[in-house]
Structure 1
Amino acid sequence: MSNKQWMIYGANGYTGELIAREASRQGLTPILAGRNAAAVAALGEELGLAHRAFGLDDPIALAGELAEVDVLLHCAGPFSATSAPMVEACITSGTHYLDITGEIAVFEHAFSQHWLAREAGVALCPGVGFDVIPTDCVAAHLADVLPDATRLTLGFDSRSGMSPGTAKSSVEGLAGGGKVRKGGGITTVPLAFGVRRIDFGDGEKLAMTIPWGDVATAWYTTGIPDIEVYIPASPGLVKKVKRLNWVRPVLGLSPVQAFLKGQVGKRVTGPDAATRERQPTFVWGEAVNARGDTRVARVKTANGYTVTIDGAIAVSRHLMDNEVEGGAYTPSKLVDKDLVTRLPGSSELTIDNA
């Protein structure tokens, strides 16, 4: 690996710490950083890694903290609040930006900064974890085998629990409603807008649409105009989610958001190592063209958090070891469409005619 400087910001969070520990195990030496000075210092001293503490409130000071950093892996959510200032600072400081978000608005903001990043020679690639490496690679493969596809449906079957950060992002997402892409544009639809049966790779199951990051990213990867993302859901869960449409405006109120996020903080800890080890994920995609020709892709991966650990490190290594043009990327465009199959625990990706 090159001698470029790599920083993990938010290294003291659930996922950031997992990434930091695995990076250290692999002999890598990222700088650990975050807002909680005591927690970052404790982790840095335990792992024998350099560490810093700083916030995101002062753009000039933030860019200064990144001045000698070549690659930043941003792990401090909620990314709806933290990503934009970090992206701005990275463009100013000439630092490549990666994060592990799954939030549609964060992806859209990053791509809105494409030309500024290109001029600065800075790569922006949000979503270098389970959100959205596996589904993005599936989308890229499907676009290659059916280049005239007009409709792309993606999905995954994961039994993993959530980290606190992911759960808080999900609370924010409820208020925003469902999201799909129609005619190339992102459209707000009711929660559980689409319901269908899907075999993700582990047997056919009822599934519903969710506002997943690929609603944004898959369009930049494939150019396919209509995109939806599904996860398995029991009939009872589908009914509960549909009922939330009646109270969705209330879910967006600040006191309600604060209460729900407070409950997350008390109740959610994230899956432990044993849970992650025994819970793989099945990823699926379907592309259809105007004639009705259909291609279906599937790949089995490790647990979503394990994919995030390995994927984030793999893409960070890619930027450390290769020169890339500035601009906004999806993971399959920055690295390649086979990235998912090279991650530990992944199967081969298969494509069939439906």
Structure 2
Amino acid sequence: MKFAIHGASGFTGRLAVAEARRRGFTPVLVGRSEERLRSIAADGEAVRVAGLDEPGALAAAFEDCAVVVNCAGPFTALGEPVIRAAIAAGAHYLDTTGEQHYIRSVLDGLGEDAARAGVSVVPAMADDGGPGDMIAHLVAERVGPEVAEVVVADLRGRGVASRGTARSMAAVFEQGPLAYTDGRWHPAEETSGSIAVPGEEGAVPVAVFALPGVVTIPRHVAARRVRSVIRTEAAAMFSALTPDVVDSVPEIPDEEGRRASRWLMLAEASGEDGKRVRGWVAGPDPYGLTAVIAVEGARRLAVDGAAAGALTPAQAFDPASFLDHLTDHGVTWQVTPA
């Protein structure tokens, strides 16, 4: 199977290339710098150079690929030209963004073009957006048809971050978080609270934050309200990401620290009748798992296909099957009564 990895020489792109090779797939390395791409290319791997301001060249780079995996952020600034080039080339597309407003713009604005081309466009296939959307779908199913509220929470502890993540999260924080109420998205209110974390004693304080689930979950769960939170300490860290701070973050995080980091996405749904169900997905090495998630998503789009148009992760892939696949990589998941 041949698929393109755009941004292949970046930090996340290199991990995706390595995962594609491990799976026995043929990655086509695409980006702006031939020198950087050739420095990571293995024998027999195609290197294709195209800038975001060259739509024809970018589409040509994707022409014989079943899927385009975009790892080059921040996606708010850099993502749309890659999607449009993939659609023009007749290739499915997915990316590793966690940028809430960008994800909404893709799902709202590019679905018709993708459907006309007969391809699937799936943003948010990273460790937060993919598992968060999927576990929320499974939780809501257990509640029943009348879902009053879904809360999705990123409850990972301290860990390492790349400069690209810091840059993206600074943009996310600046744009402000959304919430969803009665059929519309709106700016979220600054509220606080606490959530019990699986594997930890007691509850931890949480704050509102712009997670992907707020703009993905309402597209497949008929909930009156959807909101998202993270640990308060993490929200404070993101609020401190000035341009100078972002520039000081290493482009490539310490590998030992990366592998020791853990992530945890939790979803809790409540029904109009008071029934409550919660579920969670947790695993090691958030960047390494993002590569696993993206490459497995690409495989499924190429082999199994999905509906044409712009889709959330839970719409594109069977949630339980996908989460089960991740258990081979140290991921655990569970859905239980709250």
Superposed pair shares fold, TM > 0.5: yes
Question: Structure 1 residue 261: deviation in Å?
Answer: 3.5
Kept in 2: contact 1:136–1:221 (CA 8 A): no
Task: Give the SS at the match of 1:202.
Answer: coil
1:121 is the counterpart of 2:118: yes
Q: What are the within-5 Å matches in structure 2 for residues 1-354 of structure 1? A: 3=1, 5-45=2-42, 49-111=45-107, 112-147=109-144, 148-158=146-156, 159-189=158-188, 193-203=190-200, 204-234=203-233, 260-261=242-243, 263-338=245-320, 339-343=322-326, 344-352=329-337, 354=338
Percent identical pairs in the alignment equals 26
Q: Which residue of 2 aligns with 1:247?
A: none
Kept in 1: contact 2:100–2:172 (CA 8 A): no
Which one is further off, 299-308 or 75-84?
Answer: 299-308
Q: 1:262 to 1:71 in 2, by over 3 A?
A: farther
Taking the aligned partners of 1:25 and 1:139, their CA distance within structure 2 comes to 30
Kept in 2: contact 1:139–1:221 (CA 8 A): no
* Matched letter for residue 299 of structure 2: R
Residue by residue over 1:31-80, the C-alpha shift from the partner in whole angstroms, topping out at 9 and shown as x without a partner, is 011112211111114x6522111111122332222222220000111100
Kept in 2: contact 1:91–1:116 (CA 8 A): yes
* Matched letter for residue 323 of structure 2: V
* Matched letter for residue 106 of structure 1: Y
Q: 1:225 to 1:86 in 2, by over 3 A?
A: farther
Kept in 2: contact 1:11–1:32 (CA 8 A): yes
Taking the aligned partners of 1:136 and 1:189, their CA distance within structure 2 comes to 19
Which one is further off, 304-313 or 6-15?
Answer: 304-313
* Matched letter for residue 84 of structure 1: E
Kept in 2: contact 1:201–1:283 (CA 8 A): no
Task: Give the SS at the match of 2:277.
Answer: strand
Taking the aligned partners of 1:226 and 1:241, their CA distance within structure 2 comes to 27
Taking the aligned partners of 2:272 and 2:38, their CA distance within structure 1 comes to 56
Question: Structure 1 residue 141: deviation in Å?
Answer: 0.4
Which one is further off, 299-308 or 116-125?
Answer: 299-308
Task: Give the SS at the match of 2:173.
Answer: helix
Taking the aligned partners of 1:43 and 1:225, their CA distance within structure 2 comes to 48
* Matched letter for residue 169 of structure 2: S
Question: Structure 1 residue 266: deviation in Å?
Answer: 3.0
Taking the aligned partners of 2:285 and 2:208, their CA distance within structure 1 comes to 21
Residue by residue over 1:261-307, the C-alpha shift from the partner in whole angstroms, topping out at 9 and shown as x without a partner, is 45423333343332233222222111112232211112322232122
- TM-score normalised according to structure 2 size: 0.90
Taking the aligned partners of 1:297 and 1:10, their CA distance within structure 2 comes to 33
- TM-score normalised according to structure 1 size: 0.86
Kept in 2: contact 1:80–1:103 (CA 8 A): yes
Question: Structure 1 residue 241: deviation in Å?
Answer: 7.7
Q: 1:48 to 1:25 in 2, by over 3 A?
A: farther
Taking the aligned partners of 1:16 and 1:329, their CA distance within structure 2 comes to 22
* Matched letter for residue 254 of structure 2: D
Residue by residue over 1:161-219, the C-alpha shift from the partner in whole angstroms, topping out at 9 and shown as x without a partner, is 222111101111222122222223221235xx121111121322111111111111111
Residue by residue over 1:324-353, the C-alpha shift from the partner in whole angstroms, topping out at 9 and shown as x without a partner, is 33111111221111112321111132322x
Kept in 2: contact 1:163–1:270 (CA 8 A): yes
Kept in 1: contact 2:279–2:334 (CA 8 A): yes
Q: 1:114 to 1:206 in 2, by over 3 A?
A: same
Q: 1:301 to 1:341 in 2, by over 3 A?
A: farther
Task: Give the SS at the match of 1:168.
Answer: helix
Taking the aligned partners of 1:182 and 1:324, their CA distance within structure 2 comes to 28
Question: Structure 1 residue 23: deviation in Å?
Answer: 1.8
Q: How many residues align?
A: 330
Task: Give the SS at the match of 2:76.
Answer: helix
Task: Give the SS at the match of 1:348.
Answer: strand
